[in-house]
Amino acid sequence: MTLSYLNLVGNAELVKQLNYAMIYRLIIQQSPISRIQLAETSGLAPASITKITRQLLKKKLIKEVDIQQSTGGRPAVSIEAQFENYQVIAIQLGRTSVNIELYDFGGNSLVFQRYPLTDFTQRLAQNYLINLIELLCSEHSKKIKNLVAISVVMPGVIDSVNGIVRYTPHIDVKNWPLAEVLKNKFNVSAFVGNDVQSLALAESYFGSTQNVADSILIRVHRGVGSGVIINHQLLMNHNQSACEVGHIQVNPLGERCHCGNFGCLENQVVNAEVEKKAKRLLEQGYVSKLTPDQCDIVTICNLANQGDDLAQKLIKNAGENLGRAVAMLVNIFNPQNIVLAGEITKSPEILLDTINSALNSQSLKQLRENVSIHCSTLNDCSAIGAFALVQQSLFNGSLLMTMLEDKK
Ligand SMILES: [Zn+2]
């Protein structure tokens, strides 16, 4: 503890990195902004602002713009971020598909491609990813001015600090050093991370939780994952995993989960489970527009929105179970926002009503009064989470310094 504190105060390089990061972040978030405003907001000396902006200008990360004063007179020079000179390849590795996307530095998607995933060993999956990246680079070379980073997200336990995939449910891996492999192969910065944690980060940079410090995102898909943002930072523990919300027990009498416990949230609300329940209730004679052949989660949501009793019952049941977990999270973390993502959010009103009533009866009044629950505004099937890891390293200054020190 004492040692790391001494390291921090003694590390002039780190202070420099944090100052550059702060100025770059201010320019992105408040642009157009003048150098005087930057000095006032950041507390740095005007000479430091001049030096930092000069370097950012040289690298074409920012540009100067003339802003006409409302009082007339000479236009004042302000600064804006410039996104089109640098690109990032972001990849979402799903269980059966790979979504590969090219972004500019502003998080604008330039290319989106989806490929099937059929190779489930570490070596084959790695070769496949390298081939897909090479293909994207050659097919869209005109859109790539400077490829700065490659980022990959996937479910599982991902050590994003060391860039190692420790466990992912669909590929047989053994401490897969994916970030290092990609860095060496393509000579760019490389990042790996958990898909849902990264999506929570993306929501806080580009989505609905931009204006709050504390939020939790829960995604329901084939599993249930979550990411916790505290004071604008992704919560990470020693193992790079935190808040395994899918294995909170919500029904002690429920079926056995693959983790060994009974009645885990994941077992109650994932898409396949809701679809299985629909089939079972149809067999029991429930009258509905759903049929055993047409009862996928999207159809269930659509029919629930149209007033179908059985479809509504299924969404409410999922909402009650999600509500129990949400109430626990509110009691523990007291976030300002809870964001839901996944197909089940296509029936937002019924889902949110049920979750809110669970929250009202199962959480502390003083805590829940501050919480707003809503559905994600981002496409959870895009690779925006992978891009968010790159944004994170720009905002903490580490990638920014790598770029500024590059003599190219
Ligand atoms: Zn479980």
| CATH number of the domain enclosing 255 | 3.30.420.40
Instruction: Show the tokens assigned to 380.
Output: 């959870």
Quick one: 362 and 346 in the same domain?
Answer: yes
Query: What mean pLDDT comes out for the span 257-281?
Result: 92
pLDDT value at residue 10: 62
224 C-alpha vs ligand 1 centroid, how far in Å? 10
345 C-alpha vs ligand 1 centroid, how far in Å? 22
Do the domain assignments include residue 165? no
Do the domain assignments include residue 280? yes
Confidence of residue 2 (pLDDT cuts 50, 70, 90): very low
Quick one: 50 and 127 in the same domain?
Answer: no
Q: Residue 141 sits in which domain range? A: 87-160+170-195+383-405
Do the domain assignments include residue 202? no
Query: What mean pLDDT comes out for the span 147-151?
Result: 98
Do the domain assignments include residue 200? no
* Token pair 């003048």: residue: 34
pLDDT in tens, 59-84: 999 999 987 666 667 777 899 999 99
Distance of alpha carbon 181 from alpha carbon 190, whole angstroms:
9
266 C-alpha vs ligand 1 centroid, how far in Å? 7
247 C-alpha vs ligand 1 centroid, how far in Å? 4
Quick one: 307 and 357 in the same domain?
Answer: yes
Quick one: 265 and 190 in the same domain?
Answer: no
322 C-alpha vs ligand 1 centroid, how far in Å? 14
When the pLDDT of each residue in the chain is averaged and rounded to a whole number, the result is: 92
340 C-alpha vs ligand 1 centroid, how far in Å? 20
368 C-alpha vs ligand 1 centroid, how far in Å? 26
Distance of alpha carbon 65 from alpha carbon 71, whole angstroms:
18
Of 46, 81, 116, which one is at a domain's C-terminal end? 81
Quick one: 103 and 43 in the same domain?
Answer: no
Q: At what angle do helices 297-305 and 271-283 cross, to 10 degrees?
A: 70
9: domain CATH number is 1.10.10.10
99 C-alpha vs ligand 1 centroid, how far in Å? 27
Confidence of residue 406 (pLDDT cuts 50, 70, 90): confident
DSSP 118: -
264 C-alpha vs ligand 1 centroid, how far in Å? 5
297 C-alpha vs ligand 1 centroid, how far in Å? 21
171 C-alpha vs ligand 1 centroid, how far in Å? 20
Quick one: 316 and 361 in the same domain?
Answer: yes
Quick one: 188 and 306 in the same domain?
Answer: no
Quick one: 240 and 360 in the same domain?
Answer: yes
pTM: 0.91
249 C-alpha vs ligand 1 centroid, how far in Å? 7
253 C-alpha vs ligand 1 centroid, how far in Å? 13
Nearest partner of 136 among 89, 176, 183, 197, judged by Cα: 89
Quick one: 330 and 357 in the same domain?
Answer: yes
- Domain count along the chain: 3
Nearest partner of 92 among 389, 385, 388, 391, judged by Cα: 385
Quick one: 17 and 102 in the same domain?
Answer: no
* Alpha-carbon 42 to chain mean position: 27
